[in-house]
């Protein structure tokens, strides 16, 4: 017989409590809840994300959002105040112990903040949620470190000045051999995910800030660190929870990065979904100075409950 | 399999992409057939995806971990489990036959490994073939074998935990209770080499 039973009963009430707690956190800080469409006509060109395609019987096509970033930035360009959203997002080909192709993303934007100040707010949010129940796990301590400093201190290399072949050798020294050719960014990702992050203390929050400009996505270039972008990621133990930017507002830089992304997609034979033209126009009209972050709600729940697999907190996982 | 196929001369090679990886899949890696024990998807939110795979080398039995860039393809290993009857040992090779087709296979000592100590003529075993060559032999989980040698057990002698070693007709040595005598037939679990009962 088909196993019809939902699989995450022990996490069900905790999820409801967390969602209510997140809303209370933002209500207390005067951040406005918004909703934007899940289905859109265009998709981001980021070569590291694949969008799910949707098609209506009449032939009309759309894409399920990989994040609510684009429409939320259009709200900001339209004069919206600080905003947040608890959104369902979809990512093609992402399935595993810590990935479900459909998941819950908490995304918020703060006017006038930079990525350092926003990262501190993420830490405050996690502490606030962890305090909701004596049964929930709370992180112990937090360390902020620049991406470049982390590579120097753990692997002895400067990520901006090390090429793919040298990074491959460094990986080999740490017992990591990978099949399939990787470029410099691929090796940097491999070293972070498979060598460095597994060594983060399990209860500690780690804020990794100022990423190489080749991994800037939509973060603005760092004013004080040439070659790097104002992006941060937050880990709880070795689990990546959030990714944030001091947002790129320059439409010229936006266009040149999109051009590079499309070139990469073309070279790798990845699908080329139509671009969303509205964000570009919104940037032209003027996105206010702001910082934004997206946090995986399912993963935060995993850590709060001390469970190791995402299907322990999702009643109806895809896989 | 849904994997893309590469035509190489007359031979059709199947390949698996990392997104098809799952436990039990058999791959040809470093010239050896290897079975996936565990596959883990790893990906930074905005970065490159990887497959972290635990593989068991079907020739040597060794388990090791390998990492693949997502989207890589790996050749499938032509590995097949076939039920065969054990016929006889000629001093160098152990001979097996597929009951339906009468097709015969000679298995050398390297492929046979420790399984040889449990074999009794006419037993149905699982022979794993790789490109038509025997790779390993799994004997029946339970087998009944005659004791060819063991010391007489004294009642009440518990110095060795109440057991004594017994040599079976197939060559295996198992621990049996003290009351079991030479010439008797015993049932043994071949997976852990433990005595089950007297027959």
pLDDT higher at B23 or A128: A128
* Residue in B closest to A92 by C-alpha: B19
B2: pLDDT confidence band, cut at 50, 70 and 90?
very low
Q: Is residue B4 pLDDT above 50, yes or no? A: no
Q: Does B64 touch chain A (CB under 8 A)?
A: no
pLDDT at B156: 57
CB pairs under 8 A between A and B: 76
ipTM: 0.91
Q: Which residues in chain A have Cβ-Cβ distances shorter than 8 Å to B71?
A: 180
User: Strands B32-42 and B50-57: what pairing?
Assistant: antiparallel
Considering only residues 118 to 147 of chain B, which have any Cβ-Cβ distance to chain A shorter than 8 Å?
Answer: none
Mean pLDDT of chain A: 96
pLDDT at site B3 = 47
Cβ neighbours of B46 in A, within 8 Å: 46, 48-49, 215, 217, 243
| Residue A158: count of CB within 10 angstroms of its CB | 12
Please answer yes or no on whether A189 and B44 come within 8 Å at the CB atom: yes
Query: Does pLDDT of B9 surpass 70?
Result: no
Question: pLDDT tens, A183-220?
Answer: 999 999 999 999 999 999 999 999 999 999 999 999 99
Do the Cβ atoms of A181 and B69 come within 8 Å?
A: yes
B176, pLDDT greater than 50: yes
Question: Which pLDDT does position A32 carry in this prediction?
Answer: 98
pLDDT band for position B159 (cuts 50, 70, 90): low
User: B194 near B188, Cβ under 8 Å?
Assistant: yes
CA angle (B114 as vertex; B111, B116 as ends), nearest 5: 80
Identity of the residue in B45, B48, B66 whose CB atom sits nearest the CB atom of A179? B66
Going by the DSSP 8-state scheme, the letter that residue A215 receives in this structure is G
Question: Helix (H, G, I), strand (E, B), or coil: what is residue A147?
Answer: helix
Name the band, by pLDDT with cuts 50, 70 and 90, for residue B160. low
- How many Å apart are CA B101 and CA B126, to the nearest integer? 15
Q: What average pLDDT score do residues A57-74 get?
A: 96
* B99-142 pLDDT, tens digit each: 999 999 999 988 888 898 999 999 999 999 998 889 989 999 99
Average pLDDT, stretch A43-61?
A: 94
Question: What Cα–Cα distance (Å) separates residue A198 from each residue in A116, A155, A318?
Answer: 23, 14, 26
Q: Do B48 and A97 touch (CB under 8 A)?
A: no
- Quote the pLDDT of residue B153: 73
Give the DSSP per-residue string, B124-173: EEEEEEETTEEEEEE--SEEEEEEEE-PPPPTT--TTTTEEEEEETTS-E
Q: Using an 8 Å Cβ cutoff, are A70 and A40 in contact?
A: yes
The model's pLDDT over A142-187, given as tens digits with 9 standing for 90+, comes to 999 999 999 999 999 999 889 999 999 999 999 999 999 999 999 9
């Amino acid at each position: 017989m088909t196993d019809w039973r939902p699989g995450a009963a022990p996490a069900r009430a905790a999820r409801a409590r967390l969602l209510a707690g997140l809303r209370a956190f933002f209500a207390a800080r005067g951040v406005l809840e918004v909703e934007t469409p899940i289905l859109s006509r265009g998709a981001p060109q980021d070569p590291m994300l694949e969008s799910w395609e949707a098609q209506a019987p009449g032939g009309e096509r759309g894409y399920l959002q990989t994040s609510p970033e684009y429409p939320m930035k259009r709200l900001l360009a339209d004069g919206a105040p600080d905003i947040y959203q608890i959104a369902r997002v979809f990512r093609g080909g992402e399935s595993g112990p810590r990935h479900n192709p459909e998941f819950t993303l908490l995304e918020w934007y703060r006017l006038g903040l930079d990525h350092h100040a926003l990262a501190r707010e993420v830490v405050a949010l996690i502490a606030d949620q962890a305090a909701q129940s004596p049964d929930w796990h709370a992180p112990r301590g937090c360390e902020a470190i620049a991406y470049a400093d982390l590579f120097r201190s753990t692997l002895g290399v400067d990520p901006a000045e090390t090429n793919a072949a040298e990074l491959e050798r460094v990986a080999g020294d740490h017992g990591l051999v990978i099949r399939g050719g990787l470029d410099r960014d691929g090796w940097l990702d491999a070293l972070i995910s498979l060598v460095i992050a597994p060594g983060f203390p399990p209860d500690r929050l780690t804020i990794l800030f100022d990423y190489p400009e080749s991994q800037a996505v939509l973060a603005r270039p760092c004013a004080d660190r040439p070659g790097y972008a104002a992006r941060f990621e937050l880990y709880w133990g070795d689990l990546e929870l959030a990714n944030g930017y001091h947002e790129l507002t320059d439409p010229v830089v936006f266009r040149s990065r999109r051009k590079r992304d499309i070139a990469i997609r073309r070279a790798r034979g990845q699908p080329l979904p139509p671009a969303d033209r509205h964000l570009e126009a919104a940037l032209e009209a003027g996105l206010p100075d702001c910082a934004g972050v997206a946090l995986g709600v399912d993963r935060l729940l995993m850590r709060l409950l001390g469970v190791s697999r995402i299907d322990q907190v999702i009643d109806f996982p895809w896989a | 399999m849904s994997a893309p196929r590469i035509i190489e001369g007359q031979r059709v090679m199947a390949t698996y992409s990392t997104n098809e990886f799952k436990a039990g899949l058999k791959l040809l890696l470093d010239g050896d057939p290897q079975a996936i024990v565990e596959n883990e998807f790893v990906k930074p939110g905005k970065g490159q995806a990887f497959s972290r795979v635990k593989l068991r080398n079907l020739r040597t039995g060794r388990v090791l971990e390998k990492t693949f860039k997502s989207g890589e393809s790996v050749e499938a290993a032509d590995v097949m489990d076939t039920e065969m009857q054990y016929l006889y040992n000629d001093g160098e090779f152990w001979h097996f036959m597929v009951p339906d087709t009468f097709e015969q296979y000679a298995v050398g000592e390297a492929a046979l490994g420790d399984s040889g100590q449990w074999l009794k003529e006419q037993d149905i075993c699982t022979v794993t073939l790789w490109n038509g060559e025997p790779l390993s032999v799994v004997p029946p989980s339970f087998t009944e074998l005659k004791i060819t040698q063991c010391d007489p057990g004294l009642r009440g002698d518990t110095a060795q935990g109440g057991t004594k070693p017994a040599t079976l007709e197939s060559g295996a040595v198992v621990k049996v209770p003290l009351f079991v005598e030479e010439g008797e037939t015993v049932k043994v679990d071949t997976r852990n080499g433990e005595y089950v009962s007297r027959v």
